Structure 1
């Protein structure tokens, strides 16, 4: 197991370096740079920027330096000082501050949505598998397909209209106008809770529907295996048999996807966040891409890549802890 960890950590370092370089190459592929974007915006407003202003801005932001000099300036700051650079589009504010300002709400929203999806999906999926082809199974299957088929942004628009029309709730956002810039207090927490249920429901419906289908399929695959038949023949109570063996084995695929949760906790649902005006990290990334804010976009992608790599390792370890067959395979390797 120790040799496995050492190999994986070494591969993580190489992977993150390759991702950082590829990311910096990709965000520099579009023609022009941030100053060109500023110039285009000035032209659209009927303003003029002379050559001295343009060159001064490029020199100030380091855009006149060679590609590898810019890359080394960015990556060395991250490695040695945890400095992700400054954002061009946000008045040279530190990128780390911009990202972490929104991480808290993104994290809370994603965790709440995940817990909601699991709390609803696992019992329904288990019931649907145990009562295969029953009325409840057909009902769960129908709503599962509907949940996966309906676009989330359409559902968001419908529920926002209903909330505003019939419940008088402000459409979009996580806070009422009077609490938008207020300091944290009990009133603001309660206001957040009153707004949070809608994005949790919208984002969670698709995940819940998919989880129901996966749970049902995995459990059906386990219910008729020889070890289940043998345990039932020995007189083991059905509920104990179900929870101790087939349900446990059917949940292994969920442990293998734990690694996807870490980047999802930070990035969130970008489209839903834009439609509902949620102050999460997704819209921040989109704004950075549109304005060619290279340090903001590069840092964001690098953070998500690092979380993906670390999450994959944690997923492998969790799966080995959950399933002894995989643990023995790691120990043997």
Structure 2
């Protein structure tokens, strides 16, 4: 019951934080002077294209861009009726992309699940690599195993993602036959899900998962190793050794459990960091994620598309943070609900 109350409290906190973030996102998006339509109107007037100016002016009125900024915000969120009534984020209307001349929902529809799929695969890769390497490095400290793992970790941190993508783009395809570009074979695009399509997606995931997850795995491995070494140097470890506890049981029962807290807490930062860090990788590898759409929207001041993508990244951050908080409460008995509620 206590855990359910705490989970509900964290969920309400997440919603409140998301509302504050929406205000910040909207303000930041509107900080540069002008917008897509006002810039387009200035260009059309300079070239004497009256019909184009009339269409742009109509769009400004249709999407309430001619109203005060505070009214634009409440209409965008869906808390205030606009020219089309209550039609905003709360009602599932993400706005119109002026750059692509399509609803934002159509542009990001497939890209959203592909983005989630790529980054979830990268997160699994990070944990599958960082956990064993971090534990082994700490348990075999100052041995060739530790030095080798450390070298691999520093190499992963020092290599830019886009450079690693370019290397695998060439050598992975040439020597390993890995498919490069896109998230599936073109023959499966627009087709219903099938075993062949699933297999094609999984094969295409190999390169982006490795590229996006390498730096995250390297950093997390180093943090886990440092935490493990700190725990292994504490007196209770020597006491457990003196009692005859086996090395494997000693590592899993006490030091690993205590060192795992920051490992779990990183979930909140890992997902959004990978989404933002995969923008260039998506461009290089031709992935149909939201990264290229965000880049195009920011360059052209396509405010509705850019704002939605930023809100999506913020939502991932808040969901990851909430999950990490709930897992920490379950993992570490030293964390009490009452300390947070009181």
Structure 1 residues 40 and 289: CA distance shift in structure 2, 3 A? farther
TM-score by length of 2: 0.85
Q: How many matched pairs?
A: 331
The correspondence of residues 93-172 of structure 1 with structure 2, limited to 5 A, is 93=103, 95-167=104-176, 171-172=180-181
The correspondence of residues 10-49 of structure 1 with structure 2, limited to 5 A, is 11-39=13-41, 48-49=49-50
1:269 & 1:177 partners in 2: Cα distance?
22
Structure 1 residues 332 and 188: CA distance shift in structure 2, 3 A? closer
- 1:233 matched residue in structure 2: 242
**Are the aligned partners of 1:111 and 1:265 in contact in 2 as well (CA < 8 Å)?**
no
Following superposition, the deviation at residue 307 of structure 1 comes to: 3.3
The correspondence of residues 136-215 of structure 1 with structure 2, limited to 5 A, is 136-167=145-176, 171-215=180-224
**Higher mean C-alpha displacement, 228-237 vs 59-68:** 59-68
**Are the aligned partners of 1:4 and 1:330 in contact in 2 as well (CA < 8 Å)?**
no
2:164 & 2:89 partners in 1: Cα distance?
42
User: Residue 91 of structure 1 is aligned with which of 91, 95, 101?
Assistant: 101
1:84 partner SS: coil
Q: What do you get for the CA RMSD once the two structures are aligned?
A: 2.9
Following superposition, the deviation at residue 185 of structure 1 comes to: 2.9
1:260 & 1:285 partners in 2: Cα distance?
19
Following superposition, the deviation at residue 311 of structure 1 comes to: 2.9
**Are the aligned partners of 2:212 and 2:277 in contact in 1 as well (CA < 8 Å)?**
no
**Are the aligned partners of 1:172 and 1:278 in contact in 2 as well (CA < 8 Å)?**
yes
1:40 & 1:298 partners in 2: Cα distance?
23
- 2:70 matched residue in structure 1: 68
- 2:258 matched residue in structure 1: 249
**Are the aligned partners of 1:321 and 1:327 in contact in 2 as well (CA < 8 Å)?**
no
**Higher mean C-alpha displacement, 312-321 vs 151-160:** 312-321
- 2:333 matched residue in structure 1: 324
TM-score by length of 1: 0.87
Structure 1, unpaired ranges of 5+: none
**Are the aligned partners of 2:25 and 2:311 in contact in 1 as well (CA < 8 Å)?**
yes
- 2:318 matched residue in structure 1: 309
**Is 1:221 aligned with 2:224?**
no
2:10 & 2:176 partners in 1: Cα distance?
52
Following superposition, the deviation at residue 8 of structure 1 comes to: 4.6
Q: For CA contacts below 8 A with separation 6 or more, give which structure has more relative contact order.
A: 1
1:180 & 1:142 partners in 2: Cα distance?
41
Summarize deviations over 1:72-104 as a string: whole Å, max 9, x none. Answer: 1111244652332233233241x3443332122
1:251 partner SS: helix
1:297 & 1:181 partners in 2: Cα distance?
25
**Are the aligned partners of 1:156 and 1:276 in contact in 2 as well (CA < 8 Å)?**
yes
Following superposition, the deviation at residue 183 of structure 1 comes to: 4.3
Structure 1 residues 9 and 172: CA distance shift in structure 2, 3 A? closer
**Are the aligned partners of 2:40 and 2:56 in contact in 1 as well (CA < 8 Å)?**
no
2:313 & 2:193 partners in 1: Cα distance?
28
**Are the aligned partners of 2:212 and 2:274 in contact in 1 as well (CA < 8 Å)?**
no
